[in-house]
Amino acid sequence: MRALKQPGLWLYVAALVVWGLVVWFLDDPTLRETSFTLLMYVGLASSLNILLGYTGYVSFGHIVFFGLGGYMGFYLVSVQEWSLYPAALVGGVFGALVAALLGLAVLRLRGAYFALATIGVNEAARAFVNNFRPFGGATGLSLDYSVYGLYGGSMKALWLAFGLVWLIAIATVVTSYLVKQSRFGLGLMAIREDEDAAMVMGVKAPRAKTWAFALSAFFPGIIGTIYFFKNGNVEPHDAFRLHMSIETLVMIMLGGQGTVLGPILGALSYERLRGYLLVSPLFKSLHLALSGVALLLIILFVPAGVVGWLRQRFPKLRGILE
Amino acid sequence: MVHQLINSLTDGFLLGFVYGLAAMGLSLIWGVMSVINLAHGPVITVGMLATYLLFVHVGLNPYLAIVVVAGIGLVLGLIIYITAVHRVISAPHLSSLLATFAVNMIILGIFNAVFGGDQNNIDFSLGSLSIGFLNVTYSRLLAAVGAVAVTVFLYLYLYFTRTGKSIRAVANNREAAELMGIPSTRVLALSFGLGSLLAAVAGSLISTIFPFTIFSGGPYELKSFVICVLGGLGNPLGALLGGLILGLMEGLIPIWMPTSWVPVVEFGLFVFVLVVRPTGLLGAK
Amino acid sequence: MILEVRDITKRFGGLQALSDVSFDLSAGEILGLIGPNGAGKTTLFNVINGVFPPDHGKVVFRGEDITRLPPYEVARRGLARAYQVVRPLSDLSVQENVMVGACFGRERYSLAEASRVADEVLVQVGLADKAKLLAGSLNVAEKKRLELARALGSQPYLLLLDEVLAGLNPSEIASMLDTILQIRESGITILMIEHVMQAVMTVSDRVLVLDYGELIAQGLPQEVVNDPLVIEAYLGDPQLTKRLLEGQLR
């Protein structure tokens, strides 16, 4: 496959693999937790990029799939007593199904209207889950600590969660890459550039968009399940945090939408920055404002993001800066 | 039961005027420059906060404070336009969407840092009016009256003053307006300021009825979107009508289901109208 | 008959855009479609390739009724279109633009095959040296060629050209006409909307004339050009214009 011959893909995968192994060997819980969060965002940002960067549909509500898929997966583990692995998978599939269904209504909207609809989705989903008895309503669900025993105790479970998120992050990046280099991806990018022209050229836009939407929702569903499993509980307020959606968006814009490396870099740099800011008492409460400033500056001056800008500046590096 | 229903509907109807006012601000900006102002919610919050602070620290009567709030809204709108929107006004719509969204984050972030997420309440109770079984608080009544008054002012401004007419000209066809010597940048900035003014005043009125947190602007922003889409973009009368419809709907819903379902219904309505009749019930512009 | 258009009627609110338009197109023909501005030519194209359905009438392509199919279905059956107002996929390279046509057109090539097809097509339209540049960076004449290349990339049986000569200088026009003739040589049927009268007359086998949504004349170029209805549609006064035209066509 043409995709596998590009150096970029192997570079990123190798970097991620090495990082994971380093954390493993150092056996440091703090590093592990930080890495967990970072890798989680890499996964979230890369998956959203499939919809936003490749297909050109800006979603403000991406976190809804993290929440809904995560809820489903967590429900299966805590209430139905499933094993984590199939539960996470079902969480992902559930996220994808919700996306496909939602897409029937929402993908018909173009540009700004679609974005607006996605803002409402998050609110609606939270309100819905708040009232949904099987998912615990407003109090949510929690995990009996004995469940961790099935995975070798809570310490081991934490390492397991890390390992799974690490694998999913790699899987998301690889998928993102494969999509970009595939015929499917070419169709998506044509839709992004000019949806009507793409249709006239034969791209089955409605179907392609639905697949992109579902694919972008699959990984967050899995990640959500793992995240809530690690935390031991889930509640509506937690699962549908709008600012996680926003921050994922900012990460993509910062790093460079439509590239594979962009979301990775964006996620890493943004999260690191946030980590430093949270420690400082002055900036702690301002971090939402600062992300806003960052987003504004990017939109006004560097809309292509860091990677996009680099690609324009140094065309020779295109092969690596995919 | 019927009494409850009528009271509920009346409450909703009165509130609908205020919703309509808020939505008008969004609709104006949308209609004049095709920008969807995602900072709308925080501007409403600014109105709420300003009224509260003026009441608590200066002792200013909330209804008088509206004039001050209008001024704040106008200036804020001008600032937002000049810093964030002007540069991307001719770019694809998503750029202005993200730019105003960024402003949203900045304002909310600052408020969060300075004021925190606690509830604030303006303790300015005026009692209520009773007509038979109908029981309406004066604050709701006054808010509706205030909303109508501002609407009338807006209408007079847009149709009978020179600047108002130039706003309508730019909304109709920006290039043609420029060719006729209308300074479109100034008009756009003014329109944005005007839209923000309306939002801030709406927020001010809302704060006289309900307690609020700095995040309260969000749901009203969503309502404004639904209303704009219902009433047709750029159509102020449509916004008012849409506001009334939404208000009535909110009066009806709690009879059958818990109020926490309201966002779901509103979202459903929003998507439904967008898909089925994107130009709104009254048609755009 | 590669294309049969029957009684196409389309109304937009108060405006009757097309009324009972009917014509046939034989395989290998170049059919010119002319008419004053606002006559409904582009609307007719939009109906043919599925952008919107007609109110009445039908479009039969290679024996299949394609009247209400969406544009991507029409494209997959081998009917491609080059737009009047060019719409390049700006952030993709020239080659990738053509590849989209090849991947999603009649043959549904894989990426590798599409790449080869794109290279061939780019040679055909004279853009081979610009293959790796971003489509957004081309000038107008080049974008028009790209528009043509994209349509060709889908290996169509029938090509709809909407004013491909607009905005080109005389030497660019001559070169584009050559390309169009070559395309026909390779077996593709062409239906072209054109305003550049001289061009359309030299290159078309037959000509259709549309005015206010109605087909007012069809036939050989010389016949059509001398038809008083046509002259009146374009210029108003038949006598005056006859004199003008005689001066021009000799």
β C3-12/C15-25 pair status:
antiparallel
Q: A178: which chain C residues are within 8 Å (Cβ-Cβ)?
A: none
DSSP lists the bridge partners of residue C214 as C211
Q: At what angle do helices B217-231 and B2-33 cross, to 10 degrees?
A: 80
> What ranges do the domains of chain A cover?
2-319
What is the signed CA dihedral for A228, A232, A237, A239, rounded to 10 degrees?
Answer: 10
Tell me how far apart the 2 most distant CA atoms of chain C are, in Å.
59
Q: What is the pLDDT of residue A49?
A: 93
B218/A109 CB distance under 8 A: no
Number of Cβ atoms within 10 Å of the Cβ of A143: 19
Residue B131 to residue B121: CA distance in whole angstroms: 27
pLDDT of C250: 47
* Closest chain B C-alpha to A237 CA, distance in angstroms: 13
B26 and B199 Cβ atoms separated by less than 8 Å? yes
Chain A residues close to B107, C-beta within 8 Å: 289, 292
C49/A contact by beta carbon, under 8 A: yes
Q: What is the DSSP string of A149-214?
A: HTTTSHHHHHHHHHHHHHHHHHHHHHHHHHHHTSHHHHHHHHHHH-HHHHHHTT--HHHHHHHHHH
DSSP readout, B114-166? HH-S--B-------EEEETTEEEEHHHHHHHHHHHHHHHHHHHHHHHSHHHHH
Which residues on B lie below 8 Å from A290 (Cβ)?
Answer: 109
pLDDT number for residue B263: 76
Q: How do residues C37-77 score in pLDDT, each as one tens digit? A: 888 899 999 999 999 899 999 999 999 999 999 999 999 99
Contact B51, B207 (CB under 8 A): yes
Q: Do C90 and A190 touch (CB under 8 A)?
A: no
Q: Region C128-149: what's the mean pLDDT?
A: 89
Smallest Cβ–Cβ distance between A200 and the set C49, C99, C114 belongs to C49
| Cβ pairs bridging A and B (under 8 Å) | 118
Rounded CA separation B206/A187 (Å) = 48
Nearest-5° Cα angle at A8, A194 to A224: 75
CATH tag, A2-319? 1.10.3470
Check CB contact under 8 Å for C91 and A187. no
Put simply, the answer to whether A203 touches C100 (Cβ < 8 Å) is: yes
* In contact, B273 and B245? CB cutoff 8 Å: no
Q: Six-digit token pair at C81?
A: 């279109």
B34, B37, B80, B106: best to mutate for the A interface, most A CBs within 10 A? B106
Q: Which of A193, A199, A203 sits opposite C91 (nearest CB)?
A: A193
Tokens, residue C230: 């046509």
Contact present, A194 and C89 (Cβ < 8 Å): yes
The H or E element spanning position B40 is helix B40-53
B2's enclosing H/E stretch is helix B2-33
Residues of chain A in contact with residue B225, where contact means CB-CB under 8 angstroms, are: 116, 119-120
CA triple B116-B121-B126, angle to 5 deg: 165
Report all structural domains of chain B as residue ranges with CATH numbers, in order of start.
2-117+137-276 (1.10.3470)
- Classified as helix, coil or strand, C214 is strand
- Is residue A59 a contact partner of residue A242, using CB atoms and an 8 Å limit? no
B-interface mutation test, from A121, A288, A293, A298, most B Cβ less than 10 A away: A288
Interface contact A131-B94, CB threshold 8 A: no
A-chain residue closest to C91, CA distance = A193
What CATH number belongs to C1-78+158-250?
A: 3.40.50.300
Which candidate from A128, A293, A303 shows the least CB-CB separation from B106? A293
pLDDT, tens only, A218-253: 999 999 999 999 998 888 888 888 778 888 988 998
* Cβ pair A286:B113 closer than 8 A: yes
**Strands in chain C per DSSP E:** 3-12, 15-25, 30-34, 56-61, 64-65, 79-82, 158-162, 189-193, 206-211, 214-219
Mutation target to probe the B interface, by most B beta carbons within 10 A, among A300, A301, A302 is A300
Does C241 or C136 have the greater pLDDT score?
A: C136
Nearest CA in chain C to A205: C72
CB A92 within 8 A of CB A69: yes
pLDDT score for B280: 62
Task: Determine the distance in angstroms separating the CA of A195 from the nearest CA of chain C, rounded to an integer.
Answer: 10
Q: What tens digit of pLDDT does each residue of C18-30 get? A: 999 999 999 999 9
The structure tokens 């004349």 sit at C217
pLDDT tens-digit profile, chain A (322 residues): 455 566 778 888 899 999 999 998 998 888 888 899 999 999 999 999 999 999 989 898 899 999 999 999 999 998 888 889 999 999 999 999 999 999 988 898 887 788 888 877 887 888 888 888 888 888 888 888 888 888 888 888 899 999 999 999 999 999 999 999 899 999 999 999 999 999 999 999 999 999 999 999 999 999 999 999 999 888 888 888 877 888 898 899 889 888 888 899 999 988 888 877 777 766 667 777 888 888 899 889 888 888 888 888 887 777 677 7
**Contacts of residue A140, Cβ cutoff 8 Å, sequence gap at least 6:** A233, A234, A235, A236, A238, A239
Q: Are B131 and B7 in contact (CB under 8 A)?
A: no
What is the Cα–Cα distance from A20 to B277, expressed in whole angstroms?
51
Contact between A290 and A303 under an 8 Å Cβ cutoff? The reply is no
**Chains C and B lie in contact, requiring 3 or more CB pairs less than 8 Å apart:** no
C-alpha dihedral (C167, C170, C176, C180), degrees to nearest 10: 110
**Residues of chain B below pLDDT 70:** 123-129, 131-133, 278-285
CA distance A272 to chain C (A): 31
Q: Is A200 on the interface with C (CB under 8 A)?
A: yes
User: Using CA atoms, how far apart are residues A203 and A191, in angstroms rounded to an integer?
Assistant: 8
Give me the pLDDT at residue C237, please: 60
C-alpha distance from A104 to closest chain B C-alpha (Å):
10
User: What 3 state SS string does B166-227 have?
Assistant: HHHHHHHCHHHHHHCCCCHHHHHHHHHHHHHHHHHHHHHHHHCCCCECCCCHHHHHHHHHHH
Q: For residue C131, what are its two tokens?
A: 């293959």
Contacts of A305 in chain B (CB under 8 A): none
* CB atoms A202 and C96 under 8 Å: no
Size of chain C, expressed as the number of residues it contains:
250
Task: Give the C-alpha separation, C109 to C105, whole Å.
Answer: 8
Q: What is the pLDDT of residue A319?
A: 67
Chains that touch B (3 or more CB pairs under 8 A): A
As for the ipTM of the complex, it is: 0.85
**pLDDT mean over C90-97:** 90
Q: Nearest-CA residue of chain C relative to A207?
A: C72
Beta-bridge partner residues of C32: C192, C207
Instruction: Tell me if C101 and A202 make a contact (CB, 8 A cut-off).
Output: yes
Two structure tokens written together for A70: 């995560």
Tell me the three state secondary structure of residue C86: coil
Q: How far apart are CA A100 and CA A218, in angstroms?
A: 10
Cβ separation C92–A190 shorter than 8 A: yes
For position B285, what pLDDT does the model report? 45
Length of chain B: 285
Both tokens assigned to C109: 């090539």
Q: What is the CA radius of gyration of chain B?
A: 18
d(CA A249, CA A237): 20
Residue C191 contacts residue C25 (beta carbons within 8 Å): yes
Which residue of A193, A203, A204 is in closest CB contact with C90? Answer: A193
Buried b / exposed e over A183-219, threshold 16 CB at 10 Å, is bbbbbbbbbbbbbebbbbbbbbbbebbbbbbbbbbbb
Q: Which two tokens stand for residue A308?
A: 């996009």
Indicate yes or no: CB of B275 within 8 angstroms of CB of A124: no
| DSSP symbol at A143 | -
CA distances (Å), origin A316, targets A186, A254, A321, B94: 22, 21, 9, 30
As a whole number of angstroms, the distance between CA C50 and CA C67 comes to 7
The mean pLDDT value for C126-142 works out to: 88
Task: Report the distance separating Cα C53 and Cα C9, nearest Å.
Answer: 10
Helices (H) and strands (E) in chain C, counts: 10, 10
Q: How many residues does chain A have?
A: 322
- Interface check for C103 against chain A (CB to CB < 8 A): the answer is yes
Helix (H, G, I), strand (E, B) or coil at C56: strand
- Which residues, other chains included, contact A160 with Cβ-Cβ below 8 Å and sequence gap of 6+? A84, A151, A152
Out of C51, C104, C112, the one facing A202 most closely (by C-beta) is: C104
Q: Which residues of A touch C101 (CB under 8 A)?
A: 201-202
| Interface chains of chain C (3 or more CB pairs under 8 Å) | A
Q: How far is CA B213 from CA B122, B218, B221, in A?
A: 12, 10, 14
Q: Which residue type does B80 have?
A: I
Test A187 with C83 for CB contact under 8 angstroms: no
Q: Is the pLDDT of residue C249 over 60?
A: no
Q: Looking at CA atoms only, how far is residue A224 from chain C in angstroms?
A: 33
C134 DSSP assignment = B
CA dihedral for A286, A292, A298, A304, sign (positive or negative): positive
| Interface contacts (A, C; CB < 8 Å) | 76
User: B118: which chain A residues are within 8 Å (Cβ-Cβ)?
Assistant: none
As given in the structure block, the two tokens for residue A119 are: 């803002």
Judge whether B129 and B152 are in contact, CB under 8 Å: no
Question: Per-domain residue ranges for chain C?
Answer: 1-78+158-250, 82-156
B contact set with A (CB within 8 A): 36, 38, 84, 87-88, 92-95, 97-99, 101-110, 112-113, 218-219, 222, 225, 258, 260-264, 266-268, 270-272, 274-275, 278
- What pLDDT, on a 0 to 100 scale, did the predictor assign at position B279? 65
Backbone angle region of B257, left / alpha / beta, with phi > 0 → left and psi within -120 to 50 → alpha: beta
Q: What is the pLDDT of residue C238?
A: 60
Distance set, CA A134 to CA A75, A147, B45, C155 (Å): 8, 20, 35, 55
